[in-house]
Structure formats: structure tokens, C-alpha cells
Amino acid sequence: MAHVAEWKKKEVEELTKIIKSHPVIALVDVAGVPAYPLSKMRDKLRGKALLRVSRNTLIELAIKRAAQELGKPDLEKLADYIEGGAAILATEMNPFKLYKLLEESKTPAPAKPGAVVPKDVVIPAGPTSIPPGPLVGEMQALGIPARIERGKVSIQKDYTVLKAGEVITEQLARILNALGIEPLEVGLNLLAAYEDGIIYTPNVLAIDEEEYINMLQKAYMHAFNLSVNIAYPTKQTIEAIIQKAFLGAKNVAIEAGYITPETVEDIFGRAIRAVLLIAQNLPEELLDEKTKELLNAQAQVAVATPQPTEEKVEEAEEEEEEEEASEEDALAGLGALFG
């Protein structure tokens, strides 16, 4: 008995040392993982994480001792997640990356009666290699749309036989194995991970990376737009803020007819358009050749431009009225400028 106690003491000391020397400590369930897949998993983790399988009671003692010696009471809470055949996974890898690595390392496994499926199990439509026999009746009894075609069993349409979290029955296990469908996964199931005072559970770590990136991009754009709109300068927004201020000042100058090197082209362009608009309503004999050329060019552009749809007519008329008013203001500004 003394020898056994000494072995346990050394094991707890070794586990405690492992926990204290790594920033990220995870608990994984190795129950039901055959020896060969477990050895392959060790190979994949080599250089990235240290996997140490031990007794649950010894792991719990080691976690509590390490938490006490490190002065990290939050670490002790990790022991609450010990279940099944627990093992310690010590690493410097981010918990999210660790979870992703463990999930990607899992391999498909045949159906076992009493096992819980991790995701929906679907029998796909199409021919199978199964010959006619009692299995067809068992499939039909479970609602699986199976029938005999050309001497083989054929599935008429995709059929979901199990939802995630449901248990495989003996009858269903027999059918799935005959069809070559492997609904289970062999690998390390992460129970919880500890880093910097925070315990991460699988439901937190199992994120959709693409959706998460899209959410971050949207949040960034919202923050960027808010910063620009309230003129809050940052390294990322200062250029946009200055551009917005410049365009705002330029538009005010154009509306006021205030000529600067930046506004002169716009102001005179609006003035010319206003003049042409007036010229359209004058008798042709009062127009000089240059004005006639401009009016002809304007007419050609109008012909080449696609006509607006009926629903846009009213909106276009309103915009035209606003433009005419603005052009009249511009002419007034020019008149005041040149006397």
C-alpha cells in the first residue's frame, strides 16, 4: 500500500509541475479512444501540446495544488469539468486554436449501439451494394425510403435517421454499418480549457470563423463611420475626416459662388449650364454660333442618355427644380462678382 501511495504522490507532483509550466491547461476526455488513434493524436500534438493521461482523482489534486502554489484560485475551478476518462493537455496554444486542432484531428468511426451521435446522420439517396433481404424491411420500418432496384437496395431520397445528440439503437447500428456510414468520431473531446484566469468551455470555443470575421468587419465599419461622422480623429479615420471636411467646405463655397482654385471649375460649369438652360428658351436668331454649338452638343448627349423609368420621372423633376434654383443662385453670384 505504501508503494501505491508513493506512486500516486509522484504522479500528482509531476502533473502539478506540468500545469504550472504551461499558460494554457485543458482537460480532454480520452474515454473510448482506442490505443492506435490515441498514439496518432500524440504524434499530431508533438511540439504543440503535452498530453498526459492519468486518474481523475490525481488530476483533480494536481489542479488544486497548482492553483494554490501559483496563487490562481480561478484555476482550481477547472477541476469541476473533470469527467469520463480525463487527461491533461498542457500547451502554449490559444484555446480557440487548440479546440480547432482537436476537432480537425477527429476521424470517422463505425456506429455502435448506445453511442451518442455528434451531428445529424443522413442516409443519402442513391443505389447501394446491399442485396435484397430482411434489412430492407428493417429500413422501411424505420421510415427509410428503401426499395429494390436492379437486384440491389436503393434509397429513394436523403433521409435523416438521427439528430445530433440522439442515441444509436442496435437496429440502426446494423443498418448504418451495412451502408458503410460512419456516424461517430474518434478523437479527444475537449472538456474545458484555462488561460489567464478564464475557463473556456466547448460551446464558447466552437465558433464559426467566417461568421465571426464578418461580424468583426461590420463592427469595424460601424466604428469607423461613427468616428468619421462625429469627427473623432484616429490613425485609421483622420484621412477620411479631413476629406469629408474638405468636400463639405468645397460644397459650401460652390453654393455661395465663392471662387477658389478648387471651386472655380464647378462654379463656372454650373453657370454655363444655367446660361444654356436660358438660351434654350430664346429665339434662335438671338444666339451666337458658339451658343448654338453648345446647345447642339447638349441635345446629342440627351439623346444618347437612357430615358428614366416612369417611377423616376417625379424624382427627376424635383431634382431639376433644385438644380435650376442652384444655377440661378450661381448666376446671381457671378453677377455680383463681375458687376
pLDDT, one tens digit per residue, over 176-221 is 998 899 888 888 889 999 999 999 999 889 887 788 888 889 999 9
pLDDT, one tens digit per residue, over 18-71 is 999 999 999 999 887 877 778 888 888 888 899 999 999 999 999 999 999 999
Please give the C-alpha separations between residue 336 and each of 323, 325, 327, 339, in angstroms, as whole numbers.
Answer: 20, 17, 14, 5
- Cβ contacts of 125 within 8 Å, gap of 6 or more: 155, 156, 157, 158, 159
- pLDDT bucket at 3, cuts 50 / 70 / 90: low
Q: Determine the pLDDT at residue 298.
A: 61
Name the more confident of 5 and 158.
158
Q: Can you tell me the mean pLDDT for 315-320?
A: 63
Helices (H), the chain: 2-20, 35-45, 56-70, 73-76, 95-104, 134-141, 170-179, 202-205, 209-229, 238-256, 264-279, 289-304, 310-338
pLDDT, one tens digit per residue, over 133-177 is 888 888 888 888 988 888 888 989 999 999 988 999 999 999 999
At 317, which amino acid appears?
Answer: E
Q: Can you tell me the mean pLDDT for 91-112?
A: 89
Q: Determine the pLDDT at residue 40.
A: 80
> Which residues are 25's β-sheet partners?
90, 194
Percent of the chain with pLDDT over 70: 81
Give CA angle at 72 (67, 75), nearest 5°.
60
Q: Can you tell me the mean pLDDT for 115-128?
A: 89
Q: Determine the pLDDT at residue 330.
A: 41
Q: How far is CA 223 from the centre of its chain?
A: 18
Q: How far apart are CA 154 and CA 144, in angstroms?
A: 10
Q: Determine the pLDDT at residue 273.
A: 77
pLDDT, one tens digit per residue, over 242-300 is 999 999 898 898 888 888 888 888 887 787 777 777 776 667 666 667 666 766 666 66
Q: Determine the pLDDT at residue 306.
A: 59
Q: How far apart are CA 231 and CA 223, in angstroms?
A: 12
At 34, which amino acid appears?
Answer: P
Q: Determine the pLDDT at residue 295.
A: 64
Pick left, alpha or beta for residue 92 (phi over 0 → left; psi -120 to 50 → alpha; otherwise beta).
Answer: alpha
How much is the pTM? 0.57
